[in-house]
Amino acid sequence: MAATFRRAMDLLYLLCVIVGCAALVLISAIIPWAVFTRYALNSAASWPEPLAVLLTIVLTFIGSAAAYRLNLHMNVGYFGSQAPPRLRKLLELLVQLLMALIATFMIVWGERLVEVTWHNTIAEFPFLSVGVTYLPIPIGGACLLLFIIERVWLGAPPDPLASHGDGSHGQAASFE
């Protein structure tokens, strides 16, 4: 069962990375188009900026869950790394429990935000529900919670970049 769960988390991680990268690529294409239409054509398009904001929401919540899985997020691990090994393990568990609390907050309140705004529309995209634009919050929270469960239950996932260099990628947050 543990191996199946780890493989499922590998697939979820890959999906999060693909979605986050696609959002980043689209943002990188949309912003220059907005600049071009505003300054070269002297007729600013109304849709690039709100679409870039929506894609930034996707990138932030889905991409950050993927970054958290491999400890690629910004953090401060100095004091934890100075603690005795037994205390380090307790601190790591405390961090995971606090992150699980944050993920649960994202799921619960994100779902409520989606529900409350579901019937509203965006002026630039009248076919798009505001609730849909907030879906990355509870989805990102759910992905994050699953990655936390994986870390607590099975330990940190293997670093996919370790075989392509010195192996130091993604290990900045580890207290080990």
Q: Say yes or no to pLDDT of 167 above 60.
A: no
Question: Which CB contacts under 8 angstroms, 24+ apart, belong to 79-87?
Answer: 80/175, 81/175, 83/175
**173 DSSP assignment:** T
pLDDT digits (tens, 9 = 90+) for 44-71: 888 999 999 999 999 999 999 999 998 8
More confident residue, 176 or 27: 27
Percent of the chain with pLDDT over 70: 90
Rg of the chain on CA atoms, in Å: 19
The model's confidence at residue 122, banded by pLDDT at 50, 70 and 90, is: confident
pLDDT in tens, 81-96: 888 989 989 999 999 9
The count of other CB atoms within 10 Å of the CB of residue 150 is 21
Rounded (5°) CA angle 105-142-101: 35
